[in-house]
Homo-oligomer: A and B are copies of this chain.
Amino acid sequence: MNDGLSIGALAQRTGLAVSAIRYYEAQGLIKPWRNAGGQRRFERADLRRLSFVMIAQQFGFTLPQIRAELDRLPGGRTPTKADWARISEGFRAALDARIATLTRLRDNLDGCIGCGCLSLEACALYNPRDGAAEMGQGPRYLMGDTPAAQKG
């Protein structure tokens, strides 16, 4: 009787909409086979893949990024716990980075609340986009008021 899970069964067990699962297939996140009648059939391992997708989305990954992670799973065999653990460690790094960014932002904000200026010249509060390699455009002079030119 192991002829795979129907899309509806998968939807029930993951809580995802059937349409979302089809969409994920279109994005290459899962690769069901088809039965004689042309309907999708899924392995139990796909439950785990979809679980990964849902968690990764909460972490702010885009579907292409998630796909890239999933593509690192071994082909030809059902991924083991160790495979999943290896993949999951990427989460850890991404989360650490995000927490660090937000904490830095918060610390800057603390200084900024004190002066009320919201001036990014002074407070360095505005760092466009999370990452590291984006000092491209140079600082933007927001607020319009230099410290000397403020009127109160």
Contact = CB atoms under 8 A, between A and B. Distances in A.
Q: State the main secondary structure of chain A at its contact with B.
A: helix
Contacts of A24: none
A3 B96 CA distance: 48
A4 to B, nearest CB: 12
B89 A55 contact: no
Interface residues of A, number: 57
Number of copies: 2
B102 A99 contact: yes
Nearest to A141: B13
Nearest to A88: B113
Tell which of A84, A96, A145 has the most Cβ of chain B within 10 Å. A84
Contact of A13 (B96, B113, B144): B144
A15 interface: yes
Interface of A: 13-15, 44, 47-48, 50-52, 54-55, 58-59, 78-85, 88-89, 91-92, 95-96, 98-99, 102-103, 105-106, 109-110, 112-120, 125-128, 137, 140-145, 151-152
14 contacts: A47-B144, A52-B118, A54-B126, A55-B120, A55-B126, A58-B128, A59-B105, A80-B152, A81-B115, A85-B113, A85-B114, A88-B109, A92-B109, A98-B102
